[in-house]
Amino acid sequence: MGLSRRCSATGIALILSLVFFVSPAAAHSIYIFAFPDDSQICTNSYFGGKAKVRGGQVSMAAVSGEILATAKTDEAGNACFDRPERIQDLIFTVEASGGHRAEFKMPASEPAAGSSAYDSNDGRPAPETMAGEQAAGAAWPSTRAGSLTRDDLRQALSPIMLKLAEMESAQNSRINLKDVVGGLGWLLGLAGVAFFAAGRKNKTRIKERS
Amino acid sequence: MHISEGVLSAPVLICGAALALGGMAKGLRAVGEDDIPKAAVLAAVFFVASLIHVNIGPGSAHLILSGLIGLFLGWAAFPVIFAGLLLQGILFQFGGLTVLGVNTFNMAFPAMALGLLLRKGINSQRKAAAFAAAFICGGGSILLSSLLVALALFLTGREFKFVALEIMLANLPIMIIEGLMCALVVGFLAKVRPALLTGEALGFEKPAKA
């Protein structure tokens, strides 16, 4: 009995240590996010353990499925693309070794936010103008806005856009301890169902014998 | 080791699902009443172990412990691994639901085959032989699973040699770690609970009649 208890305790300790060994950010699978960077749209791809995807195939596609451009990730997991001529929803897909694949959808409003949100002569934001341009499917213009050019703003906003995209991606890829415990609860429940089925089988057998 | 959604072609997905269903049917029949607690604990270990990542070279590998499951459960590895993968897919978005069959087969079949083949080995009175059998089962399951992943990708149109080499290299440290873990668990159980390693407990000997 003592030995059995020791074994059970060891088993539980093993599971618990595995649970707590997992850092909150660790996850399997692969992740990708995109952010406007200067005149380009860049993507960053990483695995669940935060290892960067190196040499992964990234494609930029329209919602219709048309592939607009492809690129390979560098050592830092980045792959950059020139902005497409038309403002549209974009889907970035990364494929890495071992059949890993992930997608990221960038709405048309996002690249615009990093590029041409400031489009008035006095350098102040003019969202209405942008909305009009988007609706017409126009290309991103590059006009001078007072002393502050769109390129200046784009450059200044790039690190912020990257940080925001990183934070959003980290939030989405984080493993919740509640989910881990919930999964273990499901398995416990399944074991209970199996015991119930086995018990019913035994009862039937006993009835048949008597 | 988890192949993502959208990577494999429909015929490969259907074949994988059919094979996994066959294995599940056989596996569910193989689970006896006494095996339920063992299966539940091993399912919990599998579910949690996959969250531990090791960043290696251009990729990221994680523990699977399928060899351990195959060693102790044989055919029952199929439903156990299926339950673990299903919960991982739903709760953590690892792999996916359409690739559940292929992923189940890729992980469960080598574990089951090697487990059944090497069960007698871990029952050996010679410690070195038992250690070797457990090590081969743990590491070999990962090796064969890697080959099956490569085969699934090859059948979808990738170059087998390149993909297989890439996956095996990425999983090489995991093969060694899993082999050692499997051997350590068997060695530990041989000391504290040898009753779990008898031919009767492992299912290759019929229980003695009272």
The amino acid occupying position B206 is K
- Beta strands, E only, chain A: 30-37, 40-47, 57-62, 67-72, 78-82, 90-96, 100-106, 144-145, 148-149
Cβ-based neighbour number of residue A192 at 10 Å: 12
Shortest distance between the Cα of B61 and any Cα of chain A, in A, equals: 8
Decide if pLDDT at A205 tops 60.
Answer: yes
Average pLDDT in chain B: 86
Q: Does residue A184 form part of some domain?
A: no
A164: in domain: yes
Nearest CA to CA, how far is A37 from chain B (Å)?
Answer: 24
Domain of A114 in residue numbering reads as: 30-173
Is B55's CB within 8 Å of A28's CB? no
- Phi, psi values for residue B14, rounded to 5°: -65, -45
Tokens of A87: 């403002």
In chain B, which residues have their Cβ closer than 8 Å to the Cβ of A21?
A: 52
Note whether residue A5 is domain-resident: no
First to last CA, chain A: 33
Find, among B126, B37, B123, the residue nearest to B76 by Cα: B37
CA distance B88 to A22: 14
Closest CA to B18 of B105, B112, B107: B105
Contacts of A6 in chain B (CB under 8 A): 192
Number of domains present in the structure of chain A: 1
Residue A17 lies in a domain: no
Its ipTM equals: 0.75
pLDDT of residue B21: 95
Most confident of A118-132, B91-105, B134-148, B191-205: B134-148
Extract the tokens encoding A81.
């693309």
- A70 is a domain residue: yes
**A90: which strand partners?**
A62, A106
What is the structure's pLDDT at A146?
56
Which of A26, A175, A187 faces B83 most closely, judged by CB atoms? A187
- Copy the structure tokens of residue A84: 């497409």
Nearest to B82 by CA among B99, B62, B61, B60: B99
Q: Looking at the predicted structure, is the pLDDT value of residue B20 above 50? A: yes
Q: What is the pLDDT of residues A144-193, one digit of tens each?
A: 555 667 667 767 777 777 777 777 777 766 777 888 888 899 999 998 99
For the domain that residue A74 is a member of, what is the CATH number? 2.60.40.10
Share of chain A above pLDDT 70, in %: 64
3-class secondary-structure state, position B159: coil
What pLDDT sits at residue B75? 93
In the three-class reduction of DSSP (H, G, I as helix; E, B as strand; rest coil), residue A36 is classed as: strand
- Number of neighbouring beta carbons within 10 Å of residue A62: 14
3-state DSSP assignment of residue B53: strand
- Where do the domains of chain B lie, and which CATH numbers do they carry? 10-202 (1.10.1760.20)
